Structure 1
Amino acid sequence: MPLILAIESSCDDTSAAVVSDGVILSNVTASQAIHVEFGGVVPEYASRAHQRNILPTVSVALRRAGRSATDLDAVAFTRGPGLIGSLMVGVSFAKAFALALDLPLIEVDHMQAHVLAHFAEDPKPAFPFLCLTVSGGHTQLVVVRSALDQEIIGRTIDDAAGEAFDKSGKLIGLPYPAGPEMDKLARLGSPTIDFAQPDPGELDFSFSGLKTSILYKLQAKAKADPTFVRENLNDICASIQHAIVSTLIRKLVLASERTGLNRVALAGGVSANSELRARLIEEGKQRNWETFIPKVEYCTDNAAMIGVTATFKYEAGLFVDQDVAPAARL
């Protein structure tokens, strides 16, 4: 029963978790509100905040788990992908912590961990299953044959779904991150505006054209009526969200048909979106899918998913040396 300290620092959240044989004993996250003022994550500020937050976050995680550093069997960390400065803080801390206690190190792929967040609690999907992973930086369709055997069969060729939410939200004056606020306002509106949904074909995604469509259409409407955006904000949010979610679900259906998999899962920060969750459940009922959606706390960046993934790697004996380095892209 390995007891693992897990550290996640790929972007602007500093997170630490203690995981015992795959069971989450604690999961603590320190967020960085400063980026709201700039409308996006400022890498230098993010890395400095990680330096301030990481020791207190790890200390709280150990205390809440009721364990001490000497009880640990391994230290796990996010190696990438992510912001290189943020990753350096987490990787360096994990290496020093492990070296001081003579503990093995386990490096974890951030996107693989999002998929395996489904194993943080019951019900857990049986293998194989199909996973739609959507976040601020990635949009992927993944065939998951086993915990450590994942094949990406579709991905974005330009912008990710999360970026489409944030950038289009910025166009209409929503605060960063725009996704949660857009979700809230969309529930009060109706998708009455049609935006272009470019399709690169097959199982890949494209959201840059959608952002352009939103920009031009709203500019045209605002030119005719300067109050249009303000007076129709709820409907605009509902229309943007509907366009993004429809694209995701359409590709997911195609992937299920292509692979023959009817166990379908959702993962990543954007999977916290209420319409996406509802549409997946609805589609699952219509197509007789077995659907899996993690709790919201395991959708956003968190160390619990790093610890769960590390448990599988610990059991497989997959450790790394002290010379391991962070990687912005894996």
Structure 2
Amino acid sequence: MQRRHLLAGAAGVASSLALPAWSQSGYPNKPIKLIVPYAPGISPDVVSRVIGDKLSQALGQPVVVDNRAGAGGMIGAEAAAAMPADGYNLFYTVKGVMAIAPHLYPQAKYNPLKDFKAVTEVLIVPHIITATPSAPYNTMAELVSYAKANPGKINYASAGVGSQPHVALEAWARRLGIKLTHIPYKTNPSPDVMSGVVSLYLEASTTAIPSIQGKRIKALVVSGAERIPALPDVPTMTEFNPELDPNGVIGNSWHTFFAPAGTPDDIVARLNTEIVKIVKTPEIQARLRSLGLTPTGTPAATVNVGMAQDHAYWGRLIKELDIKVE
């Protein structure tokens, strides 16, 4: 009997040692901070709150969004890179911040490939070139024709120098032989597009679709090769010119959860499991697709490989186009 108790006790100790760290520590036992490198109301903020609310329910702890806007998302990325790697700090960001901005700002105080560990990709997001309602063009062909006749007179907004809307429109403008004037914003530029303060904006489908349907802005073209079901009459960039955005490599973005690089793998695995379950629910699938988004929910290792590929691609593209910031 005594031997059986000793063996049972030893087995219990071995079993507890095999438990992941989050099980031993009761993870999570306090609120989780989620840094979003954009202002409230912009696409990543909107989606982060939808997923964050569900994650809070799944984990039994608040997920608190902390908006750190500015510098094309780099302010938020630098803050996120410096966070403790304890599982209570996450970063919800997009392709522009991780694959584009570091090539334009070598002095950036974060390294996407070294300072972060992917948790999961949530979705792929197409972008729409939107125009103020009074703009004298309604299609990409008309925009190009007008821009060539009025070089530099068309201005466009972005979420900051080095953001994906900035670099994408510069890349397309150069390849089309037109000149556009860039106006970077630290806040959501959509109201100024509606009112005509700026003419164009490459806006994520998340926030663009309601404004387009409400006729507060007009849509010229959707990035990539697939039309958005909510906007069936808006053509794709591939329809306009198949060489400008093959498979959405320039115009499409992704939304991904990251953690600081030192975050324990078992905590990352737990977060991946919970977030992927959320993304796969019919409710979230329907909600994301209604906004023109493609839900994904991928293994962390897959995201790390994809991010490295995007980082290399945009480095080559920026060098090829000689895009620089002053």
Q: Output the TM-score relative to the length of structure 2.
A: 0.26
Which entry has the higher C-alpha Rg, 1 or 2? 2
- TM-score normalised by L of structure 1: 0.26
